[in-house]
Amino acid sequence: MSADTTTSNPNIQIREIQGRGRGFIATHSIKAGEILLTDSPILLYSANPLNNNKNFCSNCFISLNSSSSSSSSSVLTCSSCSYHPLFCSPICQSKALSSSHSPWVCQALNSIHYTSAGSSFDVSDAHFLVAAYNLAVISPPHFRILLSLHGIATPTVTDPGILSLHSLISSLSPPQSVFGFSLELTAALLAKDKRNAFAIMGPQENGERIARAYGIYPKASFFNHDCLPNAARFDYVDTCVAGDGRNTDMIVRAIHDFSEGREVCLSYFPVNWNYKDRQKRLLEDYGFVCDCDRCKVEVNWNDVDDNDDSMEENEDEQMAGSSEDEDLEQGEVDFPHAYFFLKYVCSRDNCMGTLAPLPPSEGQISDVMECNVCGKLSTGEEIDENGNGDGVMVDQ
């Protein structure tokens, strides 16, 4: 099955790249902050479907306390559900009841709700499978796209986790579709999810950001990984009009200028992860050994094997010593990518988000950087929403 590899941005194109499958290549020089891709999910499912629904709309995942959503008095529910998913508006309720929360999904999630305590399956994986088998019925073209994404299951499925999830879905009498229902299909779907799902992060009441939902994005799934990415993804789940279906769109922007012919890469996790954790995650969840420029340097660090904070320590050493020419030279050898952390990693405590400039305006690159985790806008100093340098930190 071939995937649709067209994009609406003529400056990037999906191509086959040796040893990396498909990926995005810049077909023109790219400007810092440029919007490279806007993508809508073909499938969304809650990160915590059974316990954490009261704060977010179960359809569009906007915060029910957000100024963009309806007031809490008009929050709607599904009368058939014992775990009470909530909807931010009549539009979301009606969309959900005919798609993501169809009668079969409703019945399946209720059943999972009753059987999940003490069971061996992962509830989030179970919810993904319910959403995916539902997609096969409500939107076969989208299901075909899901099947065309990267990720294959082993020919003989023996993984106890997959076997138990398949038996659970089987007991829920999934609706019939042209794609059928089989252990192989269940395993393939789980592989697609593992390789391609993006977490949609949003702030909780205490300000901490958690994954509210996971989404499969048909175009963004073609971004390969680099431990020093040149693009970053932004989501604005609480800042759009509830029910318009666009607040779960993902926007990918260039972090800095780069030239035609370069591959456009995201980092699949926060860039401050150390070498060992990065390699482990990439091998276990994505099936490859990373040999990017940063990994080629960090593989030689002595403390790579036994120090979990190796990257941070080397970075601190480099920054602390940078006033001395001699130390700087040594730091450049040990950690030539320190500039990335100084320039493109958020300095807010415990944030570690990636910074990219706001989109260029009339060809002019913006000097306002936005953090893709905490949303802080900054230039050299903190600035407010209107771009004024008054020392105010802006939460979004």
Ligand X SMILES: C[S@@+](CC[C@H](N)C(=O)[O-])C[C@H]1O[C@@H](n2cnc3c(N)ncnc32)[C@H](O)[C@@H]1O
Chain residues binding ligand X by CB under 6 A are 19-23, 150, 195-196, 221-222, 224-226, 286-288, 290
Q: Give how far Cα 235 sits from Cα of 137, 201, 246, 252, 371, Å.
A: 28, 8, 10, 9, 11
CB of 17 to ligand X, least distance (A): 7
Question: Residue 73 has which token pair?
Answer: 């008095």
Q: Assess contact for 289 and 296: CB atoms under 8 A.
A: no
Closest to ligand X by CB, 277 or 303: 277
Cα within 13 Å of Cα(174), Cβ side: 28
Q: Assess contact for 179 and 132: CB atoms under 8 A.
A: no
CB of 290 to ligand X, least distance (A): 5
CB of 261 to ligand X, least distance (A): 17
Residue type, 328: L
Interatomic CA distance for residues 26 and 251, integer angstroms? 16
Question: Residue 174 has which token pair?
Answer: 């999934």
Beta strands in 97-230 (DSSP E): 198-203, 209-216, 224-225
DSSP-based three-state secondary structure for 183? helix
Helix (H) or strand (E) holding 250: strand 250-254
Interatomic CA distance for residues 292 and 303, integer angstroms? 19
Closest to ligand X by CB, 225 or 294: 225
Neighbours of 197 (CB within 10 A): 23
Closest to ligand X by CB, 3 or 358: 3
Beta bridge partners, 254, equal: 231
Beta bridge partners, 202, equal: 210
Closest to ligand X by CB, 194 or 348: 194
CB of 58 to ligand X, least distance (A): 26
CB of 360 to ligand X, least distance (A): 27
CB of 25 to ligand X, least distance (A): 12
Closest to ligand X by CB, 95 or 150: 150
CB of 40 to ligand X, least distance (A): 17
Closest to ligand X by CB, 75 or 199: 199
Residue among 218, 335, 223, 203 nearest 268 (CA): 223
Q: Closest-CB residue for ligand X?
A: 21
Closest to ligand X by CB, 212 or 278: 278
CB of 161 to ligand X, least distance (A): 19
Beta bridge partners, 200, equal: 213
Interatomic CA distance for residues 261 and 111, integer angstroms? 51
CB of 260 to ligand X, least distance (A): 20
Residue type, 29: S
Interatomic CA distance for residues 95 and 102, integer angstroms? 9
Beta bridge partners, 215, equal: 44, 198
CB of 337 to ligand X, least distance (A): 16
Closest to ligand X by CB, 24 or 56: 24
Closest to ligand X by CB, 24 or 61: 24
Closest to ligand X by CB, 21 or 180: 21
Beta bridge partners, 15, equal: 23
Residue among 286, 219, 209, 210 nearest 249 (CA): 219
